[in-house]
Amino acid sequence: MEIQLKKGFLDIIVLSALLNADSYGYKIIQDVMPVMNVSESTLYPILRRLEKADCLNTYSLEHNGRLRKYYKITAEGLDKIKNFLDEWGEMKKIYDFILSNTRI
């Protein structure tokens, strides 16, 4: 899949990884790997951007003597996912059109 198109999905994928439970960077990477290859250098700017947009809150907890930063989805983050799903119908129409006209 084209890199720019994949980048458009990253925010939603990361937010979706936080729907069931708060999580931390390394765990988020592991959770999204089945659908998209994400590195730390890609993930952390996304997390900062989502936090700045009020889609995430953060807090720290001690783990093995060190503080671990956790991310929690906010109502704004949930709205972002909802808006994406609402728009997905339009994207699906485009996909279906292309698929119906492709004879490859």
Q: What is the model's pTM?
A: 0.84
Q: What is the DSSP letter of 53?
A: T
The reported pLDDT for the residue numbered 12 is: 95
CB 29 within 8 Å of CB 38: yes
The reported pLDDT for the residue numbered 96 is: 92
The two structure tokens encoding residue 54: 């009020």
* CATH number for 49: 1.10.10.10
Percent of the chain with pLDDT over 70: 92
Which helix or strand (DSSP H or E) is residue 80 part of? helix 75-100
The two structure tokens encoding residue 6: 């994949």
- Distance, in Å, from the CA atom of 98 to the CA atom of 28, rounded to the nearest integer, reads 33
Of 90, 95, 102, 84, the C-alpha closest to 13 is 84
Predicted confidence pLDDT, tens digits, the chain (104 residues): 566 666 778 999 999 999 999 999 999 999 999 999 889 999 999 999 999 999 999 999 999 999 999 999 999 999 999 999 999 888 899 989 999 998 76
Give the count of domains, the chain. Answer: 1
Domain span at residue 34 reads: 3-100
Of 3, 103, 10, 38, the C-alpha closest to 27 is 38
